Amino acid sequence: MAPQTFTTTADSNGTFAYPLILSEPGVYTLTAEGQTSGVVVSATVTVVGEAAGAADLANTGGQPLANTGADASLLLWGAAGVAALGLGAGGVIVSRRRTKASA
């Protein structure tokens, strides 16, 4: 693919951004050159397509595995469940002690 040129303006600190979509798999070199300063910076970006990822899933029939990891909401609901069980058990103990004390 032939090199392409894009233009953007840097701020007073020399910082710039340019939205770029790289939809084809491959290795790309992105280069920026200051019009005034002449400073050149480069970065290499590797884009991996779906075809490369499908080979990694060959033993699952090409389907990704289910996400079974714990997240924050799972931990929160688990803690609430343990607290509810503790309160319920405490209520049973208090109720039995009151019944024995009144007998």
State the average pLDDT over residues 26-38.
85
State the average pLDDT over residues 45-59.
64
Say yes or no to pLDDT of 67 above 50.
yes
Q: Look at the block and give the residue holding tokens 């939205």.
A: 19
Q: What is the pTM of this model?
A: 0.42
Delimit the domains of the chain by residue range: 1-61, 71-103
Distances (CA, A) of 32 to 4, 5, 19, 21, 47: 12, 10, 13, 16, 19
